[in-house]
C-alpha cells in the first residue's frame, strides 16, 4: 500500500526511475533516523524491495552524513563484509535508495542458542572488517588518525564541534567529568588503523537463521582503533541483550590476528556512551516535535546510568544504591489519569498505522512522566541536595544551582585536583539511579538493561 506522506517533491518519482517501475508500497519505518519501506513494481511484474533513507536538512560538511554512509557501504560491497546494495543516490534530494536486505534485526527476541550462533558469525565479520586494507577501499576522504589520542578523541572532538552551540550554554556534571576522563585515560597504543563501523553490534545488522545477511547503519563509520568497535559491541549488547559477550572478544582476536586489549575495550565502552549522551542530552533539552521524545528520555536516563556504571567499573569504584521516595507517595492527578485512560482505551485501539501508534504510545508515556515528576520531583531534589552537600561542603540553594556548582567544581578539579574522581563518580551514579527511577515510564521502554561481562 502507498500511505500518505510528506516526502519532498520529486523524491517518489526519483525512486520509481531508479528502480524502473512505479511505487506500490510506501510506509514510514519506525526508526531514529527517517526511513521508508518502498516496493517498486516493474513492468514485467517483478518487485524491487527498497529501503529509502533521506536527510530533510543536510548539513554542509556533516561528518556523519548519509552521503558518507552511502560511500562506505558502496566501498564495502566489493569486500567480504556483507552490506546492502546501493540502488541509487541523489545528491540534490539528499536521499539514498538501498536494497531491503532479507532477514531480521531483532536478535534479542530469538532463542539463546541462535543468539550465540549469530553473534559468533557477526564477530567473524567484524574481524574481517578490521583486517581490510583501508588504502584499497577508495575512501580517501576519511580522516586518518596517526596516534592513539587521535583514535580515541577524534570522533569526540567532532561531536563537540557539532554540538558547540548547545554545549556553550549547557552544563551537566556527567558530560563534563566524562569528557575529562576520556582525555586523561587514552589507551596507550593502537595495534593498527582499521575501518570501524563506530556503532556496531546487535540491531545494526540483519540476520537469517544463524548467519548475518548484512551489516547496516554506517553513518558513524570512520578510520580508527579496532578496539573502538569492541567497545561499541558492548554498548549495543547492553541496549539489545543478545546472550552476553563471553568468549567473543577472544574469538575476535583469534580470527583477526589483532590483539585484544580489555582495558581499551572498557575505555571505548565509556567513549561510545559519552559520545551518544551528548546528542541525547541535546534532544531531551531542545526536543523538536518530530522527535520521539519518550524514546530519547529512555536513552537519556538509562544511558546516563550506563555511562556512570561503565566509568565506575573502569575506575574500580564501588557505589551503593541510594534511597528513593516511596513510589506510592504524592497525590493522584485526575487530569493525567483521564488523559492516559482516553489514550489507552479510546484512541489506541482505533490506530492501526504502526508509526502513528508509536507516536501515540509516546504521548501516553510523556503524560505519565509529567505526572510522576510532579509527584516525586521535590523528594528526589531533596535527596540530591543531601548528596551534593556532602560532596561540595555546603548545601546549594536548589538542585539546578547545585549541579552548576558541581560542574564548576569538576572543571576546577581538572586544573587543581581538589575534587576526587572517585567521589564524583559515586555521586554521579547515585544521581543516575535516582533519575532512572523518577523517569520510570520512559525507562520501561528498555527495562532491566545491564552490562554484560567482557573477557579479561
> Residues 139-171: pLDDT tens digits?
998 999 999 999 999 999 999 999 999 999 999
Helix (H, G, I), strand (E, B), or coil: what is residue 190? Answer: coil
C-alpha distance from residue 179 to each of 134, 218, 414 (Å): 29, 24, 11
Pairing of β 47-54 and β 86-90? unpaired
Give the chain's residues under pLDDT 50.
Answer: none
The predicted structure's pLDDT at residue 232: 97
**Residue ranges of the domains in the chain?**
11-99, 107-149+173-286, 314-443
The predicted structure's pLDDT at residue 33: 82
User: Pick from 398, 292, 306: which is nearest to 354 by CA?
Assistant: 292
Q: 313 is written with which cell numbers?
A: 567499573
Q: Could you count the other beta carbons within 10 Å of the beta carbon of residue 331?
A: 7
The predicted structure's pLDDT at residue 330: 78
The predicted structure's pLDDT at residue 2: 62
Nearest-angstrom CA–CA distance, 142 and 311: 30
Fold of 107-149+173-286: Aminoglycoside 3'-phosphotransferase; Chain: A, domain 2 (3.90.1200)
Is 195:137 a contact under the CB 8 Å cutoff? yes
Query: What does the pLDDT look like over 404-446, one tens digit per residue?
Result: 999 999 988 655 556 789 999 999 999 999 999 999 999 999 9
- Surface-to-core class of residue 232, CB atoms within 10 Å of its CB (0-12 exposed, 13-18 middle, 19+ buried): buried
- Surface-to-core class of residue 438, CB atoms within 10 Å of its CB (0-12 exposed, 13-18 middle, 19+ buried): buried
Q: Could you count the other beta carbons within 10 Å of the beta carbon of residue 90?
A: 16
Fold of 11-99: Phosphorylase Kinase; domain 1 (3.30.200)
Element spanning 48, H or E: strand 47-54
Residue 232 region by backbone torsions, left for phi larger than 0, else alpha for psi between -120 and 50, else beta: alpha
What DSSP assignment string belongs to 70-135?
HHHHHHHTTSSS----EEEEETTTTEEEEE--SSB--GGGS-HHHHHHHHHHHHHHHHHHHHS-GG
The predicted structure's pLDDT at residue 182: 98
Amino acid at each position: 500500500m502507498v500511505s500518505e506522506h510528506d516526502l519532498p517533491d520529486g523524491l517518489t518519482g526519483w525512486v520509481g526511475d531508479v528502480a524502473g517501475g512505479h511505487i506500490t508500497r510506501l510506509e514510514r519505518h519506525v526508526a531514529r533516523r527517517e526511513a521508508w519501506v518502498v516496493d517498486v513494481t516493474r513492468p514485467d511484474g517483478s518487485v524491487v524491495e527498497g529501503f529509502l533513507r533521506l536527510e530533510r536538512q543536510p548539513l554542509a560538511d556533516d561528518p556523519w552524513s548519509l552521503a558518507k554512509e552511502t560511500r562506505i557501504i558502496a566501498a564495502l560491497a566489493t569486500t567480504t563484509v556483507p552490506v546492502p546494495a546501493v540502488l541509487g543516490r541523489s545528491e540534490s534530494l539528499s536521499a539514498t535508495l538501498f536494497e531491503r536486505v532479507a532477514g531480521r534485526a531483532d536478535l534479542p527476541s530469538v532463542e539463546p542458542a541462535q543468539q550465540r550462533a549469530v553473534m559468533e558469525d557477526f564477530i567473524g565479520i567484524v574481524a574481517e572488517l578490521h583486517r581490510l586494507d583501508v588504502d584499497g577501499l577508495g575512501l580517501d576522504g576519511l580522516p586518518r588518525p596517526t596516534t592513539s589520542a587521535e583514535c580515541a578523541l577524534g570522533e569526540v572532538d567532532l561531536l563537540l564541534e557539532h554540538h558547540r552551540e548547545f554545549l556553550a550554554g549547557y552544563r551537566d556534571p556527567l558530560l563534563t567529568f566524562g569528557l575529562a576522563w576520556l582525555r586523561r585515560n587514552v589507551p596507550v597504543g593502537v595495534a593498527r588503523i582499521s575501518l570501524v563501523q563506530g556503532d556496531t553490534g546487535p540491531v545494526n545488522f540483519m540476520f537469517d537463521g544463524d548467519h548475518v545477511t548484512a551489516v547496516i547503519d554506517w553513518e558513524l563509520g570512520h578510520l580508527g582503533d579496532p578496539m573502538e568497535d569492541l567497545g561499541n559491541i558492548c554498548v549495543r549488547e547492553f541496549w539489545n541483550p543478545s546472550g552476553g559477550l563471553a568468549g567473543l572478544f577472544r574469538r575476535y582476536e583469534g580470527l583477526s590476528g589483532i590483539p585484544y586489549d580489555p582495558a581499551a575495550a572498557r575505555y571505548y565502552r565509556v567513549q561510545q556512551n559519552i559520545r551518544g549522551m551528548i546528542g541525547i542530552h541535546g534532544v531531551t533539552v531542545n526536543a523538536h516535535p518530530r522527535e520521539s521524545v519518550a524514546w530519547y528520555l529512555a536513552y537519556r536516563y538509562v544511558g546516563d546510568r550506563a555511562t556512570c556504571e561503565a566509568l565506575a567499573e573502569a575506575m574500580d569504584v564501588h557505589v551503593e544504591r541510594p534511597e528513593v521516595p516511596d513510589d506510592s507517595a504524592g497525590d493522584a492527578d485526575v487530569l493525567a489519569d483521564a488523559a492516559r485512560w482516553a489514550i489507552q482505551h479510546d484512541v489506541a485501539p482505533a490506530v492501526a498505522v504502526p508509526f502513528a501508534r508509536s507516536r501515540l504510545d509516546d504521548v501516553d508515556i510523556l503524560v505519565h512522566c509529567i505526572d510522576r515528576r510532579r509527584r516525586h520531583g521535590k523528594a528526589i531534589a531533596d535527596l540530591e541536595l543531601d548528596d551534593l552537600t556532602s560532596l561540595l561542603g555546603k548545601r546549594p540553594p536548589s538542585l539546578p544551582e547545585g549541579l552548576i556548582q558541581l560542574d564548576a567544581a569538576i572543571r576546577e578539579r581538572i586544573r587543581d585536583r581538589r575534587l576526587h574522581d572517585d567521589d564524583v563518580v559515586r555521586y554521579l551514579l547515585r544521581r543516575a539511579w535516582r533519575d532512572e527511577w523518577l523517569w520510570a515510564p520512559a525507562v520501561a521502554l528498555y527495562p532491566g538493561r545491564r552490562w554484560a561481562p567482557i573477557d579479561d
